[in-house]
Structure 1
């Protein structure tokens, strides 16, 4: 243990985005914006690919005759790879430098994308998606580390606003882009599109990012890695199995989730008692701002990311829209977030994140209220305005929360802090997705007609009948006719009643998500509501590992 005075300008930092490259200005200078362009480009690839594959699930089922549960592994394998690699990012950034690690991540991601496009069956596609996830998992935490080191703590709010662009574009642009590529070309292009973008990002990173000056002396926490990475992957595998099994009490869910949780608990004891360089530095929880921000992010991600996935399902299953149309109907959320995000980012640096996160959460709750009354004929104007209000709140919530976590950290702590925030977001989002999916599925199961109408409506309502498998269409019509005859009603009455009941299931699910989102206000209340005192920070010595 040695001490150093943070008032003394540091040398080139461990990850290569040197503290010496930044200027203590209020506005982002050209150098920081150039670095931000690299980070945004890489992050867009990683985040878009999570949602783009979602709209191709039916295509994969039809092409290879695979079950929905098996095809869902094209998304789960990517998520599990993310969870496995994210914990290593902090150590690897310090050990090898952010520039070379970022370029390696892009290269691995592009390689995985090309392999996915060549997949000849569902099994190889799942394996190639895992390779893609190994590269994509490092891009977001690395991007945060690079940007926050380049801009400095006094401008973290602004750089988080920049980094928030791909986080907003992904859920909105993914379904639109994926639907368009599948309709116009083929499903292969949802992966091949990453090749030109990745090559551009690779060249851009080579030219724009500062030269690395890594510190090779830090030892790798192999025990921590063998505990945490498999632990997170096993836990998320168990949680991700909930929608498929329909209950948290199945052996498959409980065995893997509890085993993964046990490994994570053992890791906590290991990390707290390891003297030097644990894989994740849990002593950072002594930082009050980071702790409150992580709790806020966890509750928010469980509530919000889960419910976000069901709105496209509502438009497709209840309203009979195509995946591309569903993406366009949700685009208002991205517009709203882009309006408030830059403003919130700039003002967060001056006034602290607490006020903006609280206000943003209130706006999200206000936007969710009309959606708790969804029916089979809800005006698209209502959903659009609700999404716009939610987007305005989202732009004031997510990235200011990241700012609260990272703004008081020192340069040598940033890689570890951003890694912790990304692990929290990934795990919480996976839990939220599983919980919301199970709630919706169980609500739908209460009425067999509701479930049937929801499943066949996308087939019967397809605006382009030529693209529907005739056998599948005949099967759907036969199922509706048989159920209607058994109930003593017409097929039209069955569909109308079933879709109305299914829409009510969505409304009930949104209501639970609204309650969870409102609960996020509790930890958000304790987020800082003023800018940190840089003078006091500079006066205090910093313990160095």
Structure 2
């Protein structure tokens, strides 16, 4: 009886890395743009003569549009092909960016941010599904470990890029900076990214599901945002209506004889359910922390946006180091081991922030952020590889859309919840800023522990390669 020979991992060649780089440009634009404008809120408020509350909708409108666009990305890619859908999404994003730079009022800017968000919302999911389809199951894990670091770097790079632009130029360049990047990505994609045919199964668009799911998520996030602002009636209406629409979508998804926009049954199938929970909480932890820390640095420590961005940079460095580690181990180590280890590192890196009332030195904050960055890189890529390596190629767009939806929703809901908690703790602490932020980070720690419980259900072994 001959001994079974285990083939070495498939090589990630230069051609595949080039394709990954091109597609990740779209993800980079979309995810950085979600935070790049945050440092320009005061500038935009002065430019258009709008209150901070009104101009905050420049960020909120983009976020709601992203949440609304993600669910449809899977159907569009399956219907028209991955590359064509990705190119169209880049085009919509660039159109929105150009219009934003030409905005003449706060209202027009908010409307144009919606257009920009609709394109940006489709880019990460469509790009990941297209890359996984091109790479094949044997190479998906290693290539995803490289590109998945971009969403982790973006919340760190956004404030730095935004602060740098406003330091040397006017506010329209917050949006015009996207044009050369997007144009280069489109030209390179048309030349080097291969066509991926649409799904052979042509399914009708789930219009009822789209009417319930996308607006339901957007209304729920809006309601939670209003809670953070202390506006009781809009908050109650938004949360109630949003939850009701999501319940109605779930019932529709379970009963319909057609293919739903996002299949609720997907989340009950192992390992998708545990993987989805891990990404949901990862989004809440990453974006929630990136909401809290810049605010703390600027209000609690009196740092400028640029200085706050520099102090956040170690998390990006940690994420880059973590992606290298994952790239070398993702085909050798069980997914559950990587993810649970990553969550443990995030927990360790979060503990110092629960003690902000004691004013920890910058070196402690930098070390904690580095550890968090490594941990975050050890979650996203393995979780996506678990799903992408166990699903049929024609189902990749919908699976990618569902995973990115959860990550986006996790970030949106996590940020909204933490904003409410922070406001409550500021009131309870009599505006003692440092202790209020420290109290809020206990909730971030709770998110991580909740994710760890779900991660224990992930597979112990790698998927079998065909």
Q: TM-score per shorter chain, which class?
A: over 0.9
1:240 match: 225
**Residue in 2 aligned with 1:99?**
83
Moved more, 506-515 or 97-106: 506-515
Q: Which residue of 1 aligns with 2:325?
A: 343
TM-score (norm 2): 0.94
The runs of at least 4 consecutive aligned structure 1 residues that moved more than 6 Å come to none
Q: Secondary structure at the match of 1:99?
A: helix
User: For the residues of structure 2 that align with 1:227 and 1:512, how far apart are their CA atoms?
Assistant: 30
- Aligned residues: CA RMSD: 1.9
| Cα deviation 1:394-445 (Å, max 9, x = unaligned) | 1112222222233211101111111111111111211110111111122222
Match of 2:334 in 1: 352
Distance 1:401 1:217, change over 3 A: closer
Seen in structure 2, the aligned counterparts of structure 1 residues 528 and 77 have a Cα distance that, compared at 3 Å, is same
Distance 1:302 1:44 in 2: 19
Q: Any gaps of 5 or more consecutive residues in structure 1?
A: 1-23, 451-500, 539-545
**Among candidates 141, 144, 156, match of residue 172 of structure 1:** 156
Task: For 1:98 and 1:108, locate their aligned partners in 2 and report how far apart those are by CA, in whole Å.
Answer: 15
Aligned residues: 459
Distance 2:158 2:383 in 1: 24
**Conservation of the 8 A alpha-carbon contact between 1:350 and 1:530:** no
Q: Give the CA deviation at 1:242.
A: 1.9
| Partner in structure 1 of residue 118 of structure 2 | 134
Contact 2:221 2:416 in 1 (8 A): no
1:185-334 equivalences under 5 Å are 185-214=169-198, 215=200, 217-245=202-230, 250-334=232-316
Spell out, residue by residue over 1:217-273, the C-alpha distance to the aligned partner (whole angstroms, 9 max, x if none). 332222222222222222222122221126xxx221221222122222222222222
Cα distance in 2, alignment partners of residues 161 and 277 from structure 1 = 30
Aligned equivalent of 1:150: 134
Contact 2:39 2:162 in 1 (8 A): yes
Q: Does 1:44 align with 2:28?
A: yes
Q: Equivalent residues in 2 for 1:436-447 (5 A)?
A: 436-447=418-429
Distance in 2, matches of 1:54 and 1:401, equals 29
Deviation at 1:376, TM superposition (A): 7.2
Secondary structure of 2:443's match? helix
The question of whether the paired residues in 2 share the 8 Å contact of 1:154 and 1:349 is answered with no
Residue pair 1:157, 1:346 contacting (<8 A) in 2 also = no
Q: Give the whole-Å Cα distance in 2 for the aligned partners of 1:236 and 1:256.
A: 8
Q: Which residue of 2 aligns with 1:527?
A: 458
Structure with the greater alpha carbon radius of gyration: 1
What is the match of residue 471 of structure 1?
A: none
87 and 105 in structure 1: CA distance in 2 versus 1, 3 angstrom threshold: same
Q: Are residues 415 and 61 of structure 1, via their aligned partners in 2, closer, same or farther at CA, if it must alter by over 3 Å? A: same
Q: Distance in 2 between matches of 1:66 and 1:442?
A: 26
Does residue 415 (structure 1) correspond to residue 394 (structure 2)? The answer is no
Cα 1:217–1:340, aligned 2, differ >3 Å: closer, same or farther? closer
Which moved further from structure 2: 278-287 or 364-373? 278-287
- Per-residue CA deviations over 1:196-217 (Å, capped at 9, x if unaligned) read 1111011011111212432483
Deviations 1:151-207 (A, max 9, x none): 122322212212213212211111111001011111111100001111101101111
Cα displacement (A) at 1:125: 0.6
**CA–CA distance in 1 between the matches of 2:450 and 2:246?**
26
1:515 Cα deviation from its structure 2 partner: 2.5
Give me the whole-angstrom Cα distance separating, in 1, the residues matched to 2:442 and 2:263. Answer: 37
Q: Distance between the aligned counterparts of 2:307 and 2:88, measured in 1?
A: 36
The alpha carbon displacement at 1:78 in A equals 0.7
Q: Is the 8 A contact 2:348 2:371 kept in 1?
A: yes
- The whole-number CA distance in structure 2 between the counterparts of 1:216 and 1:297 is 28
Q: Which moved more, 1:136-145 or 1:368-377?
A: 368-377
User: Aligned to 1:533, what secondary structure does the other structure show?
Assistant: coil
Give the superposition deviation at 1:123.
Answer: 0.7
Matched, 1:160 2:133: no
State the Cα distance separating 1:286 from its structure 2 match: 4.9
* Structure 1 pair 168–302 and aligned structure 2 pair: CA distance change class (3 A): closer
Alignment of 1:504 onto 2:435: yes
Question: How does 1:23-38 map onto structure 2 within 5 Å?
Answer: 26-38=10-22
Deviation of the 1:25 alpha carbon: 5.3
Q: Do the aligned partners of 1:102 and 1:138 also contact (CA within 8 Å) in 2? A: yes
Judge which range, 153-162 or 435-444, deviates more: 153-162
Change (3 A) 1:304 1:42: closer
